[in-house]
Amino acid sequence: MLSLVPGTLAEWDTGQRLRVAVPNGDSTSAKASYVSNPICKGCLSCSKDNGCSRCQQKLFFFLRREGMRQYGECLHSCPSGYYGHRAPDMNRCARCRIENCDSCFSKDFCTKCKAGFYLHRGRCFDECPDGFAPLDETMECVEGCEVGHWSDWGTCSRNNRTCGFKWGLETRTRQIVKKPAKDTIPCPTIAESRRCKMAMRHCPGGCSNQRRSPENGGRRYNRIQHGQCAYTFILPEHDGNCRESTTDQYNTNALQRDAPHVEPDFSSQKLQHLEHVMENYTQWLQKLENYIVENMKSEMAQIQQNAVQNHTATMLEIGTSLLSQTAEQTRKLTDVETQVLNQTSRLEIQLLENSLSTYKLEKQLLQQTNEILKIHEKNSLLEHKILEMEGKHKEELDTLKEEKENLQGLVTRQTYIIQELERQLNRATNNNSVLQKQQLELMDTVHNLVSLCTKEGVLLKGGKREEEKPFRDCADVYQAGFNKSGIYTIYINNMPEPKKVFCNMDLNGGGWTVIQHREDGSLDFQRGWKEYKMGFGNPSGEYWLGNEFIFAITSQRQYTLRIELMDWEGNRAYSQYDRFHIGNEKQNYRLYLKGHTGTAGKQSSLILHGADFSTKDADNDNCMCKCALMLTGGWWFDACGPSNLNGMFYTAGQNHGKLNGIKWHYFKGPSYSLRSTTMMIRPLDF
């Protein structure tokens, strides 16, 4: 694992890209790789293309977008339009959901609006609502009028009088302490009143404070309610503090004339006068009561009887009305309760739906976060593999350089030997022309004998046929005069025993050593590493020569590879490579090709350089999917690649849409399984 080291980060350089150091034991190079790039400041994990994927504890993760590219950053505070959301796993910058908001406290409460907008109760408006005034300094909406505290309650009065009544009103107000900056909203008067009991029910000063109608003079009216009848009497009004007029004020009404006349009295006779007046009033009221009882006795009895009946009917009617109203009110209350319950149920359902939607969104966010982390991990693995491939490539280059130097030395020595032989040959030619003639005759004789042995099947000494001579490959067999296709035994350098191979002596001049052949699906090619190493099958049918033998043969000299293909419609094609050899087992039998020609596609379906051999139990490809298991067979897979001649054999009619079949992409496409294939090699200088 690479670690981060605290330090000062420089500014971005033009074209600077993040590069992860190879974990080769030099921790200094790995640390410098992170510290020198500002994009990784505060990161716990970082990649060259996607930036930070995890931040330190107190920092906020922010996903920045630039065109089609996005990358992660770790910040101390979130940028404009975002707010910090803290979580146990990692703090993140979340976008403000308020329209026209520049910074917010949460997703639905703004603290500062964009230019040209006013802030009001966590929202942004182009103008302030009614009743609020805009403050251009802070771009906020405030209340138009600012008022102070309530004043004390005022004097209890009624009709602007503080006496003469039992009950009155008292009032208090609130003063305006600040008006709006702009006179767009008038400030109202704020006051309230309440009922109060007057401290002085009777006003001092006598008649001047009494309520008296000017047109009635000293008279007052007395109203008596008796059943359904009402009687109004005009009575004289006396006040001990006031002196009445000497003029008599009597009405023509008989009942009023029976009332005694009270003479005015002075202060010395005040008490006696009042007692006398009260006695007269009492006698007058008794006479009035007797008169009413005598004249209204029969009428009162009838009225009482009717009143009882009317009262009973009225009570029944009122009871019925109350019952109907009660039932109606009960029904209305039931309807209201039902509506409230329905509305509550709908709100609960909406709340549950919102909760489910929020849960789904959180789950999707977690899944996307996990996918991003997986992609980061895959990118890291790919980067490590690229670095490993670069290391392998460097090793191969060093090996090739060493081989090149060895070959150059060998060529130099051979050139010297050839020159020496040429000089000797020239001397021998000049000195002995007779021997040349004899040599030519002997060569003709040898050729004739070889031809006779081929035709008659003559056995050589030791009981071995001529074909069992120590040939290195089928080219040697062909040059020895054996020009019929068949199975021959060859002796390969550095191999403990000979190997039987099938030699094609007819195609394109002959001399081809067959290393792979597929024709009828009789042989299973889904095998392990060891079987592909030593080979399997019968050279006369389907078989694989073996990676170890192919390596040994191609290490002897330079070879050409030819691949013959045939589809189920009988069409034939081929691909030929001027240079072909593979590495040893430590190099995973790596494939090296050069110079592609042929009719099986303008492009090569084989990776020209550097693909390792993979089987079901040895995954050496450049894909996380294990191509040998997915596509079957052993082959030089890269990232699965456009070819696999050792895939599953499918018969006619079932060979379409098969990704794991015998395929050659640039001949019949990626999902067409071929009918037969043959891979052959021959020396380049044949």
**Cβ–Cβ < 8 Å for 622, 385:** yes
**Cβ–Cβ < 8 Å for 515, 522:** no
Give me the torsion for CA of 238, 239, 240, 242, rounded to 10°: -110
- Distance, CA of 580 to CA of 591 (rounded, Å): 8
- Distance, CA of 228 to CA of 209 (rounded, Å): 36
Residue 535, amino acid = G
- The structure tokens 């009405």 sit at 251
- The upper half-sphere exposure of residue 413, i.e. CA atoms within 13 Å in the direction of its Cβ, equals 5
- Look up residue 684 and give its DSSP letter: T
**Cβ–Cβ < 8 Å for 141, 150:** no
pLDDT of 1 reads 37
- 378: its two tokens: 């895959």
- Distance, CA of 400 to CA of 609 (rounded, Å): 13
- The structure tokens 């966590």 sit at 122
pLDDT of 256 reads 40
**Cβ–Cβ < 8 Å for 108, 97:** yes
- Distance, CA of 343 to CA of 90 (rounded, Å): 39
- Distance, CA of 564 to CA of 594 (rounded, Å): 17
- Distance, CA of 143 to CA of 681 (rounded, Å): 94
Give me the torsion for CA of 658, 661, 664, 667, rounded to 10°: -50
pLDDT of 160 reads 82
**Cβ–Cβ < 8 Å for 488, 482:** yes
- Distance, CA of 219 to CA of 49 (rounded, Å): 108
Residue 475, amino acid = A
Q: Which residues of the chain carry a pLDDT beneath 50?
A: 1-35, 206-220, 226, 235-268, 458-468
The distance in angstroms from the start CA to the end CA of the chain is 53
Question: Which pLDDT tens digit goes with each residue over 324-361?
Answer: 788 888 888 888 888 888 888 788 888 888 888 898 99
pLDDT of 36 reads 52
**Cβ–Cβ < 8 Å for 573, 565:** yes
pLDDT of 536 reads 95
**For the chain, what percent of residues have pLDDT higher than 70?**
74
pLDDT of 136 reads 73
pTM for this one? 0.37
How many other C-beta atoms can be found within 10 angstroms of the C-beta atom of residue 292?
Answer: 15
pLDDT of 583 reads 93
pLDDT of 589 reads 94
